[in-house]
Amino acid sequence: MLGEEAVIYDRPGGRLRFRDSIILSIHEESLFETALATPVEDVFLLIGDVCTLPKYMERLRRYGKRVFLHMDMMKGLSPDKAALRYVAETLRPAGIVSTKSQVVRAAKSLGLAAVQRLFLIDRPALELGLRTLAENRPDAVEIMLGLMPRVIREVVDRVSIPVIAGGLIQAPDEVGQALAAGARAVSLGRPELWRWTEDQVRTIQQKGADPE
């Protein structure tokens, strides 16, 4: 529910939580400075390579961000356990995002939170995705495309992990529809949607209004 922290990962020593219903999706370098100035804490980082990631991570941590690296987008990092060991021991993000099952499993074995991204383009993709979640046991799932309230409700009903909606969400009422359907959070790549406080997001969910 809105106003509550959504637990996405339990492990000895504490829990990793989403503190907001919005996750910043940094998919272009031009968005980086804007993200730093935004009060939202959780970030999906889709840019960077082995040379730039240490700098990105240092700055994001300095600004109090909790970073999930999208491993499929990281240049110069192979989707294998050696690369994930470097990520876990050197970059030390809160977790990773990936469409690849082997990356999700390897990340979990190294103590990283793992968010599995699924592209649900039709019924077979949905059923395959649900089987994949049962096999890999990620800590959360991001479903694409996010403009599917009915599908969000079905996934929420059929899994025991938090569901994140992402992809092509461009308007306040679409954010509200995803959250009302049961998504714990919405990943957003449009900086004009990053400015909302949690109270304003609640207003969007209830009324579909653009907060002033």
The answer to whether residue 6 sits within a structural domain is: no
In a domain, 5, yes or no: no
Answer whether residue 211 is part of any domain: no
Q: Look at residue 8 and tell me whether its pLDDT is greater than 50.
A: no
Distant-in-sequence, close-in-space partners of 194: CB < 8 Å, separation ≥ 6 = 22, 24, 34, 35, 38, 40, 188
pLDDT computed for residue 96 by the predictor:
97
Q: How many domains does the chain have?
A: 1
The reply to whether 69 falls in a domain is yes
What domain range includes position 141?
16-205
User: Which DSSP category does 107 fall into?
Assistant: H
pLDDT band at 173 (very low <50, low <70, confident <90, very high): confident
Highest mean pLDDT among 15-19, 103-107, 194-198: 103-107
* pTM of the predicted structure, to 2 decimals: 0.87
DSSP count for the chain of H helices, then E strands: 8, 10
In a domain, 176, yes or no: yes
Provide the CATH number for the domain around residue 144: 3.20.20.70
Question: Does 96 fall in a domain?
Answer: yes
Show the CA angle centred on residue 55, arms to residues 97 and 197, nearest 5°.
Answer: 60
The per-residue pLDDT for 59 is: 98
Residue 55: inside a domain: yes
**Number of C-beta neighbours around residue 168 at 10 A:** 12
Q: Give the pairing type, strands 163-166 and 66-70.
A: unpaired
Contact, 65 vs 41, CB < 8 A?
yes
Is residue 100 in some structural domain? yes
